[in-house]
Each structure stands twice: as structure tokens, then as C-alpha cells.
Structure 1
Amino acid sequence: MRFPFLAFAVLALILLAGCGSKAPRDPAPTGYGSPTLQRAAAVSGDFASVSGVDRFIRRMEQHGFSPAETARIISGAQRQQSIIDLMNRQAPSKSTGPNGAWSRYRAKFLTEDSIANGAAFWRRHESALARAESRYGVPPEYVVAIIGIETRFGGFVGKTRIIDALATLAFAYPRRADYFAGELESFLIMTRDEGISPFQPRGSFAGAMGLGQFMPSSFHRYAVDFTGDGHRDLWHPEDAVGSVANYFKGHGWRAGEPVAARARVVSGANAGLMKTGFDTRYGVKDLAGRGIVPAGSLGGAGQVSLLQLDAKGGYEYWLGLPNFYVITRYNHSTYYAMAVHQLAQAIRERKVGAGGVRLSAN
């Protein structure tokens, strides 16, 4: 019959301990792992219980986001299967021989409308483009060409909510989940710093934003307030102009130097057997010894990349200079960079030169 007595004694000791003024108490739980904050940070909606979400919530705490705040944002994001489908279709097809791919690609961008609209955009924002050239050394035509190819001079900036694009790719696209989780992290910091709702910005299905289609990580590195209003707004033409020029400068643009020159391949040269691409490096003298010589100025460059373009009627060969490589930092594609270069030259001729535009391949 000792059990009731022992139980009463234990209960008494517990009550006394709870009433003692000097009894130590455990601190209130503060970490994300505590039950209180786990309940506060519960994610609902399309990404509830999805792998990687809890880890991302903890990651955002490093930037001052409470678990509850991050969970609220993720709960408001929507999974878009169409985004995953589009990403899966991005893989380039491999060509087995000449098929005119460059000519078709070029025709998408070097159109009469693109050139005319590029010259008009230049006229509307001439002051901002001149300031950008003075500050960053990038000629206006290259900034305008980038904006033209990316968004048709601001006419097509994308309609997908950025939060949906990045959350879908961070939590439902394992192949590149780490990359897009980083972009989602940068995006949430951007919206907080700029004082805008994370559900407001819209852009591409991959999360690119504004007239220049910057990813959020590029926003933090290269976006500038070119209007002086205290905000970096990639949807504002002047901020976009300054930001694109700053991006080029940050990747090593060399003011006053050329971008690319057409190559002349002498009869009997085996250019088709050589490695080509924007990341190749050849000495100019070495190429000359192989029968490949520049048909235009190289600005004194001693090394160039050898570029092969699959044009209608046969391959074209070009020599890429350091500024050509800078353009490929925007999009790692020889065709993209050459389209930017040729559109820039056509826009400059329309804007500055007299007479009609020359739509040649040079």
C-alpha cells in the first residue's frame, strides 16, 4: 500500500518545484525545429510536404526571413506543369551536317520591324543610352540589341508569375533544383529589399525578369538604379539600359574594341575539321598559316575564337573577339551572340547612317 503515498509525494515535489521563485526554467524554443515554429511555418498549397521546402525555409532564416513568412510565400506559389514541359523541351537538337540552322535563327531577329523598332527605342532613350556608354563603355546599339532580342524592346517581358516559375523549378524539377532554389532565394531578397510583393513580378517561364530578362542572381550583381529614384526596376527602360550595360562591363567588355570579323577561308583550308565555338582560342598567325584570315579589322587582337555558322548554302566562318565572348555571358550560344552583334550593327546603321539598312550577313 506504499504506492499511493509515493505518488502523492512525487506530485507534491512537482508542485513545489513549479512554485519556487528560483527554480531554473528552459528557454522558449526559438529554432525552426521547435514544435511551435514548425506549426507556424507549415506550408500549404501545391508545395506542402514537398522535398526541399523545409530546407529552403531554414535557408532563408540566414537572410532574416522568419520560417512563418517564408512558408506563407511558398504556400501562395503555384506549381505549373507547363513550365516543366517547356524546360524539358529546351535541350538543343544535334545537327549531323549543314542544314541552314543559322540562317533560320538569324531571320527570327534581323527583321525590318526589329531594326526599325530598335532605332525608335534608341531615339526614345537616347539620353540614358549615352549615359550608359559614358559610364560603362558599351555602345548603345549593343544594349538596344539585347533588349530587342530578349523582349522585343519591352513588348514581351513575360506573363508568368516569377514566384510560380522559380518555386516550380526549385521544388518540382530535380534536374536543376539547386540552381533554381538559389534563384528563388535571390528573388525573395530582391522583393523584400525593393519593397514589392513577391507575388507581383511577372516574367519568363524560367524566372527571367524585365526588359533585359535578368535572373534574380544577376539582379543583385548587375542591376542599377539609373533613374535615381532609389529603386532598381528592371521593367523601367532606363534602369534596364543601365543594368544591361553594367552586366557587359562586369563581364569584361572592352570599350572601343570590335566584336567579331568575318573570316576568309582560302581554298584548300580544312576549317571544317577544326574545333569551333565562342570558347575556342587560336592565334591569328596560326589561323593564317592554316588558310583562315580576317576579312575585317581585329583591332590588334592576337587571339580569337573560330566561329562556324551553319548558313543556308554552306558554312560561314567568323573570328570572335573578347567582346563577342562577353555577349555569350548573357546566353552561352554562338548564334545568340552573333544575332546580337548583327542586329546591333543594323540598328546603328538605321539610327546613325544615311540610307536604307543593309541586311547582309556581314
Structure 2
Amino acid sequence: MKISTWKARIRLVPVVAALIYCAPNVWAQPSEFDPAEHAEVARLVENVQRLGVPRDWLEDTLREAEFSQTVLDAMEGAAERRLSWGDYRDIFIQSERIEAGAAFMAEHAEALERVEARYGVPPEIVAAIIGVETYYGRHTGRHRVLDSLATLAFHHPSRGEFFRGELAAFLEITHEQGVAADTLKGSYAGAMGYPQFLPTSYRAYAVDFDGDGQRDLWHNPVDAIGSVGNYFAEHGWRAGDAIYHEASGPAELPGSIEFNRTAPPYISVEELQDRGVEPAEALEPDQSVIPLALDQAQDDYRYRLGRHNFYVITRYNHSHLYAMAVTELAAALAEYREEES
């Protein structure tokens, strides 16, 4: 399919109206918006100005946004939706990424030690998140965040309301930090910086971990390390707890079990044993777990039992494949560093 990208001139008023009232039809087609037709505009402008974002700045910034069909197409083809575990794993569990991760951990050892002491999150987990997200800051995205969020906010067929919230947060953050919004690049979904935080996560969980007075996830790996640790702590990471247990099971998946839900542990070990899924180590029968069936090839599954910390990783990205890739990369990083020490 031919991909076309064209520029839609954006005016402040329709953007604010959509942000507050979540009116997706306003931008059903890219066109100029006549504020004279919307009686609620004055109230909306007042609301935005109370946030401390000047009207002129917003108007000038949003006029720079461009519609991107590429962004909409990318949203439909996310790897977590179409790859088997075997194929997905091969993207991230590679010797080059492990070696680069060990170097990243050595360079930022002090920050990683502090993040474990403050938030209880192991250094290898924090490094693995950044390694999966951006190859330790090497690949932070090629899409202008402003374009991605404007496109998704007003043209995504089902998630426009969500992305309007992200666009609002992005505008607040960039104005507050004195950053030119149209210069920042990220993922097609508007995720930013070393850890690929969406703007609402940036606003809620980013920390100034090096004490320079700025929460900078775009250029500062130390702030990124601290922010990932804070994110995990705020989502209930349990220091010292297991992430998953190995298990075995039948060649054909038991139809009575719902596997791979990105939810808190929801089925007991005893119930799984009754259906032929057996943990590789002794666990309490009433221990709740997340049953995982990882498809390595056609009709070939690897069984694992996720714990609460596995669920916490899925709060970062709502995919069991993602959480398992982070977990395996973290284990590989820890093993590599132990062998090298």
C-alpha cells in the first residue's frame, strides 16, 4: 500500500476542544477549524491557560504538527501482535545486545546501585528495560513525537481519547522544560527517550536522578535509570521475589486454562497441576501464578509460571512476550557480568 504523508495545519482551538471534550469527529478530516462555530472555546482556552501554557506557544507549536499515515500503519503492525515467542526472543536475546548491556551497566554502575538501594529493582532489570526499548539509548525513535501524537490523537480509529491525553501531557512537559516540541523524536506511538516513556508516564514517574534540576529522559541515562526504577516501584515491584518459575505441560494446550493474560496472578498451582501443568520446583498449592505458554515453533510450547513481578513488567508494556524478553535479557546480563568479573 502506498504511504503518503501530508501536512495538516492545526489551530489551537480544535486541539483544546478535542483534548477536553474528547470529540473525535472534530478531526475526522484534516481541515481548518473555525473557532466561531464553537461556543465552548473560550472556557477551554481559559482551562489550558490555567495550566501555565501560553496560548501563543501552543498555537505556534501545534501548527508545526504533520499528519503521518506511516504512524497509523505502524500501530497496526506491532511485533507483539504478530510474532511467536521464538521469533520475538531472537530480536532481543543476542550476544551483541548482551555485551552492549554489560558495557552500559559498567558505565553507569553507581546509578544502578543507587536505583536498587532506593527502589529495590535489580540493576539488570533496569538495564534490560532500556536495552529492549532503545538498545541502551542508541535507537530512541525516528518519528517526531509531535506528529505521532497529533496523528493518533485525532485520527486513530479507536484510541484517540487515550492519545489526546498523551498529547496534552507532551505539550505541558515540553513547555515546562523549555524544549522545542517539534525537535523531539520518539517511537511511532509517541514514546520518548532512553526508556521510551509515554508523556503521561514521563510526567508521573520521571525523576531527576543526578540532581541537576532537570528530569531529562531524552539525553540523560542516569535520569532514565532512576525513572525506570521509580516506575517499577510505583507499580508494586517486590524486591527479592521471583519473576517466574519453569514448568512442564502437555503438547496440546489445555483448553480450560487461559494462558498469557497480562493480569495479576490469577490461577493456583494446584488448579494447573490438575490440568497437567507442573512446576519444575516445589511451590505451595495455593500459590497464585500467571500461566504462560510460549510458542517457540508450531505446536511447540514452553510453559512458565509468572509471579507478581512478571505482572509488574507487563505494566511497562502490556505484552507477555515483552515481559519475558526483558526477564531473559536481564538474566543474560547478570550471567555475563558474573562470568566477566
* TM exceeding 0.5: yes
Match of residue 267, structure 2, among 260, 263, 282: 282
Structure 1 residues 298 and 222: CA distance shift in structure 2, 3 A: farther
Does 1:304 find its partner at 2:289? yes
C-alpha distance in 2 between matches for 1:189 and 1:299: 48
State the TM-score, normalized to the length of structure 2: 0.82
Does 1:326 find its partner at 2:312? yes
C-alpha distance in 2 between matches for 1:196 and 1:268: 54
User: Which residue number corresponds to residue 8 of structure 2?
Assistant: 46
Structure 1 residues 93 and 186: CA distance shift in structure 2, 3 A: closer
Contact 1:118 1:153 in 2 (8 A): yes
Match of residue 301, structure 2, among 298, 315, 322: 315
State the TM-score, normalized to the length of structure 1: 0.77
**Cα deviation per residue 1:289-316 (whole Å; 9 max; x = unaligned)?**
3332221476998211101111126111
Structure 1 residues 317 and 52: CA distance shift in structure 2, 3 A: farther
Aligned length, in residue pairs: 305
Does 1:214 find its partner at 2:202? no
Match of residue 106, structure 2, among 106, 123, 145: 123
Contact 2:66 2:147 in 1 (8 A): yes
Does 1:184 find its partner at 2:170? no
Match of residue 51, structure 2, among 59, 63, 79: 63
**Cα deviation per residue 1:294-340 (whole Å; 9 max; x = unaligned)?**
21476998211101111126111110000000000111111111111
C-alpha distance in 2 between matches for 1:238 and 1:301: 41
5 Å-filtered alignment, 1:87-102, equals 87-90=75-78, 101-102=84-85
**Cα deviation per residue 1:208-259 (whole Å; 9 max; x = unaligned)?**
0011000000011110001100000112111111111111111110000010
Match of residue 179, structure 2, among 178, 191, 196: 196
Question: Mind listing any 5+ residue stretches in structure 2 that lack a counterpart?
Answer: 1-6, 20-43
- Which amino acid is the alignment partner of residue 277 of structure 2? I
User: Which residue number corresponds to residue 124 of structure 2?
Assistant: 141
Structure 1 residues 48 and 345: CA distance shift in structure 2, 3 A: closer
Structure 1 residues 335 and 300: CA distance shift in structure 2, 3 A: same
C-alpha distance in 2 between matches for 1:83 and 1:215: 15
How far did residue 62 of structure 1 move? 3.9
RMSD, aligned CA: 2.6
Does 1:239 find its partner at 2:201? no
User: Which residue number corresponds to residue 255 of structure 1?
Assistant: 239
The structure having more radius of gyration, on CA atoms, is 1
Question: Mind listing any 5+ residue stretches in structure 1 that lack a counterpart?
Answer: 1-44, 95-99, 356-362
5 Å-filtered alignment, 1:71-110, equals 71-90=59-78, 101-110=84-93
Contact 1:47 1:171 in 2 (8 A): no
